[in-house]
Copies of this chain bind each other. A is one copy, B any other.
């Protein structure tokens, strides 16, 4: 256990070359005679040498690490995004540092600080403060401080006054396509459940929802839009409250898939037939195609999204020009949960 760490100096000694030459074979410098390269490699094998990345980072002033902050990796929306980025980063030789913030400001700060200290080349940020319509002054200031030292990419979020790279999927258009779909199925009474005022992903969708109802000359019922949160239980709560209305909608749109899972569960537990409602979610997360009924929802185009993220990362690191704002088309996925309105007048 007291085994001395072996370094390029040790290799140099046993291979009868200078440390520089060892370093050269390490970095793949072609100006090394084949025979000596071979000898060095052999010795490295023999002594079980492994280069020390910390030392390398120190001299090269680059770490090949990318920081990735998201609220909760157990949420399929984030894990589906993360894994695409990780795979593509791996192919490019980058290493990702993943951190879950649980939407906590303190954890976000801690992770940001660590990323700066570890000198990540770039930070990808999802959720939390960048989705608040009114982040605190400290949150903004902190982001600006971080940005002075490392480039920042916000995914599906933004912050007033923080001028960084932005990649987002078109949630507004996504919501419009939902309404369009429901209208084409003959629905006139449409509800929106879940979300939270002041969180951008909810605000954007709610605004588009209302506007698109209007465009279709449909009435917006205030009591049919129920903010409750983003989780499964929040969906149950919303559904419960929705069901207290005298008049009920024929279609229910969720701020995301999760709340619809909750709504369906609530219906079942209270013997409310789910056949009375068309349900539409948002995100197209993992279980949405296997739940019953399978869920009509909006897919974020994860493949394109993650590709764009990597592209921007690459360009930032290679100091090439990039668009500051990227908008990605979403696509409506039609499944069993939405069907023709047969309660028509």
Interface residues of A (CB under 8 A from B): 5, 48, 50-55, 57-58, 61, 63, 72-74, 76, 79-80, 82-83, 86-87, 90, 95-100, 107, 110, 113-114, 116-119, 145, 148-149, 232, 261-262, 264-265, 268, 286-287, 290-292
Question: Inside 8 A of A54's CB, which chain B residues have their CB?
Answer: 54-55, 57-58, 63, 118-119
Contact A145 to B48, CB < 8 A, known contacts A58-B55, A114-B95: yes
Give A287 to B50 CA distance when docked, in angstroms: 43
Contact A83 to B87, CB < 8 A, known contacts A116-B50, A261-B287, A290-B265: no
One of B52, B90, B97 near A58 (C-beta < 8 A): B52
Q: Tell me, rounded to whole Å, the shortest Cβ–Cβ distance linking A49 to chain B.
A: 10
One of B5, B80, B97, B100 near A61 (C-beta < 8 A): B5
Q: Which residue of B lies closest to A63 (CB)?
A: B54
Give A295 to B119 CA distance when docked, in angstroms: 45
Give A258 to B57 CA distance when docked, in angstroms: 42
Instruction: Count the copies.
Output: 2
Q: Tell me, rounded to whole Å, the shortest Cβ–Cβ distance linking A168 to chain B.
A: 21
Q: Tell me, rounded to whole Å, the shortest Cβ–Cβ distance linking A72 to chain B.
A: 7
Contact A117 to B290, CB < 8 A, known contacts A74-B80, A145-B48: no
Give A253 to B8 CA distance when docked, in angstroms: 56
Question: Inside 8 A of A148's CB, which chain B residues have their CB?
Answer: 48
Give A100 to B96 CA distance when docked, in angstroms: 11
Question: Inside 8 A of A232's CB, which chain B residues have their CB?
Answer: 290
Interface centre among A82, A98, A145, by most B CB within 10 Å?
A98
Other than the given A52-B58, A86-B100, A264-B292, 8 more pairs (CB < 8 A) read: A50-B117, A76-B286, A87-B100, A90-B110, A95-B97, A96-B98, A265-B292, A290-B291
Question: Inside 8 A of A286's CB, which chain B residues have their CB?
Answer: 74, 76, 287
Q: Tell me, rounded to whole Å, the shortest Cβ–Cβ distance linking A278 to chain B.
A: 17
Question: Inside 8 A of A116's CB, which chain B residues have their CB?
Answer: 50
Question: Inside 8 A of A107's CB, which chain B residues have their CB?
Answer: 90
Q: Which residue of B lies closest to A264 (CB)?
A: B292
Question: Inside 8 A of A74's CB, which chain B residues have their CB?
Answer: 76, 79-80, 83, 286
Question: Inside 8 A of A114's CB, which chain B residues have their CB?
Answer: 53, 95
* Residue contact A58 to B61, C-beta cutoff 8 Å: no
Question: Inside 8 A of A99's CB, which chain B residues have their CB?
Answer: 86, 90
* Residue contact A97 to B100, C-beta cutoff 8 Å: no
Give A173 to B265 CA distance when docked, in angstroms: 31
Q: Tell me, rounded to whole Å, the shortest Cβ–Cβ distance linking A64 to chain B.
A: 10
Contact A100 to B83, CB < 8 A, known contacts A48-B145, A268-B292: yes
Give A117 to B79 CA distance when docked, in angstroms: 26
One of B72, B98, B113, B264 near A98 (C-beta < 8 A): B98
- What are the 5 tightest A-B residue pairs by CB atom distance, in nearest-first order? A287-B287, A54-B57, A74-B79, A53-B117, A53-B118
